[in-house]
A and B are shown apart, each in its own frame.
Chain A
């Protein structure tokens, strides 16, 4: 149980295009999902906290208009990288917190984005 999926697992796009990444909790409901960014050989940096039915909370320094987050249901959150540029190339990981839990997050397998 407690499986989180991400789609796609990897994506290559041209500079200036937008890319959508999906994060799904497959066997549990999650009112809260988190989006992280990880550069090569570095730690995870929290980008934003996504709450079902409300606006996401972004960390300081993260551009809201650049990284659009939608949490439309208790099992799905999406991250859209708008007008992507090469510096947006990174590994994006989501996690989901089960309904009613405060001590656990389950992580997705990650999405590798390469912007040419």
Chain B
């Protein structure tokens, strides 16, 4: 069965520091991988996605993620955190031809001034 694991339910970094949110998946077929951000009482906004091609994917708001097949990972990074990055982040996976998105547990990112 396909699954997604986000390591760390809560990550706290200082403003200007590197942001690293971890995501690992299990799948027997090549997946599509996504990162979404959710602000309080709002829906999800797509940050970036990987389907095929270049394994380093750049998204909005300065975020990027790298698909590493050998590690079954899709970690999200941002070189310099901003206060506005404080939110809940979800990693998700779907599979070619499949309908469903499977979400990780979410990681709450807190930015310290």
- B interface: dominant SS: loop
Which residue in A93, A102, A109 is a CB contact (below 8 Å) of B96?
A: A102
Say how far B29's CB is from chain A's closest CB, in angstroms: 14
In the complex, what distance in Å separates the CA atom of A34 from the CA atom of B11?
29
Among A53-84, those with CB < 8 Å from B are: none
Among B33-49, those with CB < 8 Å from A are: 36, 41-46, 49
Q: Are A103 and B36 interface neighbours, CB within 8 A?
A: no
In the complex, what distance in Å separates the CA atom of A105 from the CA atom of B43?
12
Chain A residues with Cβ below 8 Å from B103 are 43-44
Which residue in A6, A49, A106, A108 is a CB contact (below 8 Å) of B99?
A: A49
In the complex, how many residues of chain B place their beta carbon closer than 8 angstroms to a beta carbon of chain A? 22
Q: Given the known inter-chain contacts A102-B96, A104-B49, A105-B101, please indicate yes or no for A42 contacting B44, CB distance below 8 A.
A: no
Say how far B104's CB is from chain A's closest CB, in angstroms: 7
Q: Are A102 and B97 interface neighbours, CB within 8 A?
A: yes
Among B72-113, those with CB < 8 Å from A are: 90, 94, 96-97, 99-101, 103-106, 108
A–B complex contacts, Cβ < 8 Å, 30 sampled: A6-B43, A32-B99, A34-B99, A34-B100, A42-B105, A42-B106, A43-B103, A43-B104, A43-B105, A43-B106, A44-B90, A44-B103, A46-B100, A49-B99, A91-B41, A93-B43, A93-B44, A95-B44, A97-B99, A102-B97, A103-B32, A103-B49, A103-B51, A103-B94, A105-B101, A107-B43, A107-B44, A107-B45, A108-B43, A110-B43
